[in-house]
Structure 1
Amino acid sequence: MQFKQIISIFVITLLITAAAHSSSAPVPPKQAGELPPTVKVRLGIDNLDKHLTLFQGKRVGLITNQTGMTSDFQSTIDVLKAKTQLVALFSPEHGIRGHVPAGASVSSYIDESTGTPVYSLYGQTKKPTAEMLANIDILAFDMQDIGARFYTYMYTMAYAMQSAKENGKTFVVFDRPNPVGGEVVEGNIIQPGYESFIGMYPIPARHGLTIGELARLMNREYNINCDLVVVPMTGWQRSMYFDDTGLPWVMTSPNIPTPDTALTYSGTGILGGTNISEGIGTTRPFELVGAPWIQADELARQMNATGLPGVVFRPVYFTPRQVDVKYQGRLCGGVQIHVTDRQAFRPVRTGLTLMYVINEMSEGKFSFNQSATDAAPTIDIYTGDSNVRGGAPLAEILRQWNDAAGQFKELSKQYYLYQ
């Protein structure tokens, strides 16, 4: 066959194929509010249209950050700007776009994309003032929590609920999943005298609630009593971890890059009260644990010998690179936490056991951090009392914490929105 004939046949084939495609029915455009087929859960903000009457004629303020978006990546700010009278934004720790380091003060400013004023709730004041709320009727909240007591977003919400009550405003929560599921509850509760911005209320380290369920519980149990409305999700079940939802994950803060981090955080987060690196300044924060004086192989051997369920400890060496973190630029020996069965894995038990084992093998090098204020030592703020710092046996601490978690779970069931 001649070359020209081959080319002619090829061109004719392409034309026939194109004609067949052009004659087929067009693919219908995605309808408004229609989610990608992989998404199994509709977020509270995805269900806004069913609740628009609540916002009619009302001026709206929104507490949010980079995690506030719909399942198809639309910013909650833009959605409320288009569908409600959005007049103010409020920024938590890490800023409205998630760019501010942990603990750093956040300033108030004007949001460039909307021209809306942004009021800081992580600077000189953590609670909205009467002046901030003067020109709004509804104060809304849409941020992704990670299921841990010492994550500050839930307390930003609590303070805002208090202010809404004091100033006669309706408080609306657009609900989101607990990324580590809603079935397991772990850890002790904050005891009187140990309250802080990482533990305002007697809630366990791993609380097992969605942010909307937390709002319901705090509103009643801790006597906030604001005019609270939770816009619920649809499709979420308590057995779901975040990757079961089909939803896109957005870093909730600079050191929570993945849902895996969220799972380990409720256990290794307490190491923030010690001189052990919890991996901040590496690519695996809260999954890497160590210090310059730790022998990695020995720590891995001792931790694997504990028989903790659903986890394997691998010896590692890492160097934190972030400025102003523990052991910045220094080589640390330690372990990486590899979760092999997240249903069996218990992060709080694991994190506490790590602390005790490292303390015992440290030959006096382990220490608790000194508090920067006259308040209780940092470890007491994380754990909710002084028992760990006081040297109580690990088995006794775990027994107490399991009892407290069980009591909280029974209390919290009345505030469940999902089964």
Structure 2
Amino acid sequence: MSNPLGRRALLGGAAAGAGALATLPLTAGTAAATGRGGGRPGRVRPGADVAQADRWRVLAGQRVGVITNPTGVVQDTLGSVVDAMVGSGRVEVGAVFGPEHGFRGTAQAGESEGTSVDERTGVTVHDAYGADAERFAALYAESGVETVVFDIQDVGARFYTYIWTMYQAMVAAARTGLRFVVLDRPNPVGGRARGPVLRPGFTSGVGLDAIAQAHGMTAGEVARFFDGEFLPRVAGRRIADLEVVRLQGWRADMLYPDTGLPWILPSPNMPSPTTALLYPGTCLFEATNLSEGRGTTLPFELIGAPYVDHRWAEALTRRRLPGVRFREAWFTPTFSKNANQVCGGVQVHVTDADAVDPVALVTHMLVTLRDLYDGFDWRLVGGSSDGGRWMDLLTGSDRFRTQLEAGASADAITAGWRDELRAFDRTRSAYLLYPRSR
């Protein structure tokens, strides 16, 4: 059955649920490296461990403020980089700035931990989630820091908020003349950029400036890109002293399982490298009335809604999309969208991680939904459709949404960002730090 968006009342609300259908057990999530040929993982050393091995000389004589979360660890103990700095007696930590989910990681999506004194170290932890440059500048002055350190595991997607916390912190550092140090970590989905580039008029907390949907850079490379491309315009100057403590042993064509590093959840709904691999695409389901798997054990891998049935998995299988297989799945989210409702849908199984283009993959998934189900809608806000506004913010313009609504094919939609992605690739090349084969 085909029901292009332009010929039906897409935005009229969700269809009736399928509550009479039984919930089937789910199989365990696949590992992102399973399709990589079984080679021995590399041994990669993050920037924090490089700095620790050098007895923290990069921070010597400075009062530092650290932006970090539970992923900011040192490998010898898997303990917090802040604990390691303080315990070394060689680093004066004047403050910690906690991003979304908080310094110790106790808060859910869109939440933070508040400001408090950390029991273990005695350091004041400031709530910096949503902080703009002015707020960061005030926090720097209040805590008397001279150097700002960023150490967070990013996942490589424009709408993952940690890089925008770094962006605001960098703007404040540039304006106040503070030094900025990034303790670098791998991009878990590698160094290839994918998807549309954000356009003017579509900035938000999930995208403050013009980068690709999957930017293909480490946090250190992103910082260099921000400093060279955006700070002269936004802050009026570049950072006087920007330093990246580079990864050792990492190549940009590696995925996270190749690193040999343990996976530490960057946020509560990012439980595995497979989740991170799919997230630059499957996060777009946040903008729809489908569950993106929050409230299940497989967020961003398990997608569905009460109105979806077996036809979606069958239609996706016929498309023979590279690197994945689709399993018909039934599940009941315990919170977030469609909570406590039986949802039909799919589990996305990764069979060849190197072949997966998550943005193109989800474009096909959305086109197929559009053509199969009258109940397919944008997300509800206050009981009514947001008209696709969240999709516009996630994709960086209204082009993706309007093409989808007009009945465009997946190939036509993905072709729309090809030229801007090439231009982004050319621009970012000056800021890249690690060898890459593509």
Query: Do the aligned partners of 1:194 and 1:376 also contact (CA within 8 Å) in 2?
Result: no
- Superposed CA offset, 1:327-362 (max 9, x none): 101100000101111111111111121112112111
| Segment of structure 1 superposing worse, 126-135 or 189-198 | 126-135
Residue 276 of structure 1 deviates from its aligned partner by 1.1
TM-score (norm: length of structure 2): 0.82
Query: Do the aligned partners of 1:282 and 1:319 also contact (CA within 8 Å) in 2?
Result: yes
2:228, 2:330 → 1: CA distance?
A: 47
CA RMSD of aligned residues (A): 2.1
Residue 374 of structure 1 deviates from its aligned partner by 10
Which AA in structure 2 matches 1:359?
Answer: R
1:124, 1:260 → 2: CA distance?
A: 30
Distance 1:51 1:413, change over 3 A: farther
- Superposed CA offset, 1:248-268 (max 9, x none): 110010000011100010011
- The answer to whether the aligner puts 1:405 opposite 2:421 as a matched pair is yes
Please list every run of 5 or more consecutive structure 1 residues that lacks an aligned counterpart in the other structure: 1-36
- Superposed CA offset, 1:380-405 (max 9, x none): 10111112322251332200123322
Q: How does 1:136-285 map to 2 (within 5 A)?
A: 136-182=145-191, 184-224=192-232, 225-226=238-239, 227-285=241-299
Query: Do the aligned partners of 1:106 and 1:123 also contact (CA within 8 Å) in 2?
Result: no
Please list every run of 5 or more consecutive structure 2 residues that lacks an aligned counterpart in the other structure: 1-39, 233-237
Residue 375 of structure 1 deviates from its aligned partner by 11
Which AA in structure 1 matches 2:124?
Answer: P
User: Relative contact order, CA 8 A, sep 6+: which one is greater?
Assistant: 2
Secondary structure at the aligned position of 1:140 is classed as strand
- Superposed CA offset, 1:243-297 (max 9, x none): 11111110010000011100010011011111111111100000011100001x2
2:97, 2:373 → 1: CA distance?
A: 44
Query: Do the aligned partners of 2:42 and 2:249 also contact (CA within 8 Å) in 1?
Result: no
Give the alignment partner of residue 381 of structure 1, picking from 365, 383, 393: 393
2:84, 2:269 → 1: CA distance?
A: 27
Which AA in structure 1 matches 2:319?
Answer: T
Distance 1:174 1:52, change over 3 A: same
- Superposed CA offset, 1:223-261 (max 9, x none): 251131111011001111111111111001000001110
Query: Do the aligned partners of 2:132 and 2:168 also contact (CA within 8 Å) in 1?
Result: no
Query: Do the aligned partners of 1:370 and 1:377 also contact (CA within 8 Å) in 2?
Result: no
Number of the residue aligned with 1:369: 379
Number of the residue aligned with 2:343: 332
Give the alignment partner of residue 105 of structure 2, picking from 98, 119, 125: 98
Distance 1:411 1:253, change over 3 A: same
Query: Do the aligned partners of 1:299 and 1:358 also contact (CA within 8 Å) in 2?
Result: yes
Which AA in structure 1 matches 2:421?
Answer: A
Residue 304 of structure 1 deviates from its aligned partner by 1.1
1:276, 1:412 → 2: CA distance?
A: 34
Distance 1:105 1:56, change over 3 A: closer
Q: Rg: which structure is higher?
A: 1
Distance 1:116 1:159, change over 3 A: same
Query: Do the aligned partners of 2:378 and 2:386 also contact (CA within 8 Å) in 1?
Result: no
- Superposed CA offset, 1:155-198 (max 9, x none): 0000000011111110100000001111x221001110000111
TM-score (norm: length of structure 1): 0.86
Number of the residue aligned with 2:49: 46
Residue 136 of structure 1 deviates from its aligned partner by 0.6
What is the aligned residue count? 378
Query: Do the aligned partners of 1:190 and 1:202 also contact (CA within 8 Å) in 2?
Result: yes
Give the alignment partner of residue 74 of structure 2, picking from 70, 91, 98: 70
Residue 414 of structure 1 deviates from its aligned partner by 1.5
1:40, 1:331 → 2: CA distance?
A: 43
| Segment of structure 1 superposing worse, 407-416 or 231-240 | 407-416
2:55, 2:174 → 1: CA distance?
A: 21
Seq. identity, %: 41
Which AA in structure 2 matches 1:212?
Answer: G
Residue 201 of structure 1 deviates from its aligned partner by 1.3
Residue 124 of structure 1 deviates from its aligned partner by 6.5
